[in-house]
Amino acid sequence: MAFELPALPYPRAALEPHVSAKTMEFHHSKHHAAYVETLNKLIQGTEFEKMRLEEIVQATAESAAHKKIFNNAGQHWNHSFFWQCMRPSGGGRPDGALGDMIERDLGGFDKFRDKFIETGTGRFGSGWAWLVVEAGKLAVIATPNGEPPMVSGRHALLTCDVWEHAYYLDYQNRREDFIAAFLDHLVNWEFAAERLGLQGEGSYTGAHQYRQGVERFAGSGKVSEAASAARRAFEGPEGDALRSAEEEGRKRSRGEDRRRSAAAGQSGVEGEGSYSAARQYDAGAERHARSGKSGPAAAAAKSALEGPEGAELRRAEQDGKKRSKGENPKLRKR
């Protein structure tokens, strides 16, 4: 099924005077529409035609041959997400768990605001500024061109498009003023808070990631009895809870809540043995073990993670962390 341009969640003029109806018209019905149209053309008759958008993004992220598909799929995902990040009379400080986490991880709202503006303004050329969850903590990052954070295993909460087409008609070269207006008047913090909640127990995302983590580990060639037991657990009665969470998430994402749809199935996977995979397996196994639905096999999976086999995963995680601190050119360029 071909992808469709999602309707804006508010009228075009709703974000004035901070973003004009003219900008919204071009940005949504020309730029975003063109990404969707190009994506549909590029995937027609290919292996990607039947995949979900997130799957296409992940499957093409590292492939030079599929660069065009990746760019257009990424831009479709990013823009669909971006429209949800704004609302009339938005902006200001979030409260609740998100406000607490900004305090804890980013040194408070004012520091977050400065960092977000600095990161978006400092992104040379085209790209996106994001508030993400990375290994359980909030972080402010920029990505180049059309790259969504899921490619590097991060969970997106909020984004601002810093391509020139997002602000040029209203702000000309003053990107900094556009980002400030976005933060002060437009941010939909309820959406960001909902995204934060989507990571929790029983969510589609959690269940999906757990399943992918287990499958990847089981297929990694490092499997022994305990990993197989984890796999069997997922296939057996204990897995039912996770599968029904996943199914429920899917149903919801098909139906009434578009925002969940934009969010559903954030898989955040990188290659075999990567930091992301290790972290997700770890998180999935722990979540399952703590869920109160654990049986002996889940306990075995947990102890596997704590034992020699887990050492493999922890090494991969450690290695990924090191790379993300500087040695990995792909991450460094952000």
Summarize as ranges the residues that interact with Mn ion (CB under 5 A). Answer: 161, 163, 166
| Strand ranges for 247-329 from DSSP E | none
The secondary structure of 27-45, three-state, reads HHHHHHHHHHHHHHHHHCC
Cα–Cα dist 133/62, whole Å: 22
DSSP string, 190-243: HHHHHHHHTTSTT-HHHHHHHHHHHHHHHTSS---HHHHHHHHHHHSHHHHHHH
Give min distance, CB of 255 to Mn ion, in A. Answer: 27
Phi then psi for residue 224, to 5 deg, are: -130, -165
Closer residue to Mn ion, CB minimum distance, 15 or 316: 15
DSSP 122: H
Residue nearest Mn ion, CB atom distance: 161
Closer residue to Mn ion, CB minimum distance, 163 or 204: 163
Give min distance, CB of 196 to Mn ion, in A. Answer: 24
Give min distance, CB of 170 to Mn ion, in A. Answer: 13
Give min distance, CB of 62 to Mn ion, in A. Answer: 23
Cα–Cα dist 308/310, whole Å: 5
Closer residue to Mn ion, CB minimum distance, 31 or 314: 31
Closer residue to Mn ion, CB minimum distance, 161 or 317: 161
Cα–Cα dist 256/272, whole Å: 35
Give min distance, CB of 82 to Mn ion, in A. Answer: 7
Closer residue to Mn ion, CB minimum distance, 161 or 238: 161
Cα–Cα dist 285/279, whole Å: 10
Give min distance, CB of 156 to Mn ion, in A. Answer: 15
Closer residue to Mn ion, CB minimum distance, 183 or 301: 183
Cα–Cα dist 303/226, whole Å: 8
